[in-house]
Amino acid sequence: MFPQGKMKAITFSFDDGVEQDRKLVEILNRFGFKAAFNLNSGVQSGSAPWCQNDLVVRRLNIAELPGLYAGHEIAVHSLTHPHLEYLDEPTIRNELEQDKLNLERIFNTKVRGMAYPYGTYNALVTKTARRCGLEYARGVSATGLFDIPQTTEERLAYQPTCNHDDPQLMTLADAFLKLTPQTPQLFYIWGHSYMLEANNNWHVLEEFCKLTAGRNDIFYGTNAEVLL
């Protein structure tokens, strides 16, 4: 069960620590939602922008982050955002452990989870994540489900309910609101704030938030609060 005996929870997870997180955090805070922000501390700088559709995407500089993400969870996304499954064990360890240590220092908090860069991993990656003290790790494959992982193995191979761009988002929201479950159910949305800007669909996220916020039977927590 979630806090206050609630059987339903909603949480968000956003990657890469980019400029559009400013607008995203304003929306989440306005509606009372909590998210995990998954950051690459080795490349967390505005120095290397990239293009998404016609949008120039820039990571935020580190000094801004503690203030911006106050009240939300900070999680590992690796030091430099590689495909972890192609690396040897010491390099995977370097990517996860050093990102965790950097984030714990920058945010003065314990970091407990991660999102896999590109959503990809193998058995060595999950084993190394566990050895680095990470307790959950998220992929990018939408399940359309509200199941909660039960074991450490499941938590380190967790797949989200859907992306904020998923055409099923509002259908899933309607179904979730109607549930009166006997076991805890979790609506977990992941994504990238820059995709909301690039696809010009911030209004979809706002509609989702407006519909699902402020319900007595739903707990609004960070990833760690609802998964661990």
Chain residues that interact with Zn ion, rule: CB under 5 A: 15-16, 117
d(CA 175, CA 171): 6
Taking the least distance from each CB to Zn ion, the nearer of 28 and 114 is 114
In the complex, least distance from residue 179 CB atom to Zn ion, rounded to whole angstroms: 31
Structure tokens at 13: 């997870």
First to last CA, the chain: 11
Taking the least distance from each CB to Zn ion, the nearer of 117 and 139 is 117
* Continuous segment of H or E residues that includes residue 194: helix 193-198
Taking a C-beta distance cutoff of 8 angstroms, is the pair 91, 42 a contact?
A: no
In the complex, least distance from residue 41 CB atom to Zn ion, rounded to whole angstroms: 13
Picking from 201, 194, 204, the residue whose alpha carbon sits closest to that of residue 55 is 194
Taking the least distance from each CB to Zn ion, the nearer of 117 and 221 is 117
In the complex, least distance from residue 15 CB atom to Zn ion, rounded to whole angstroms: 4
In the complex, least distance from residue 137 CB atom to Zn ion, rounded to whole angstroms: 13
Taking the least distance from each CB to Zn ion, the nearer of 1 and 56 is 56
d(CA 142, CA 121): 16
In the complex, least distance from residue 73 CB atom to Zn ion, rounded to whole angstroms: 16
Taking a C-beta distance cutoff of 8 angstroms, is the pair 212, 177 a contact?
A: yes
Q: What residues are paired with 12 via a beta bridge?
A: 35, 189
Taking the least distance from each CB to Zn ion, the nearer of 15 and 73 is 15
Taking the least distance from each CB to Zn ion, the nearer of 16 and 99 is 16
Picking from 77, 184, 186, 86, the residue whose alpha carbon sits closest to that of residue 134 is 77
In the complex, least distance from residue 23 CB atom to Zn ion, rounded to whole angstroms: 18
Sign of torsion over alpha carbons 178, 193, 228, 114: positive
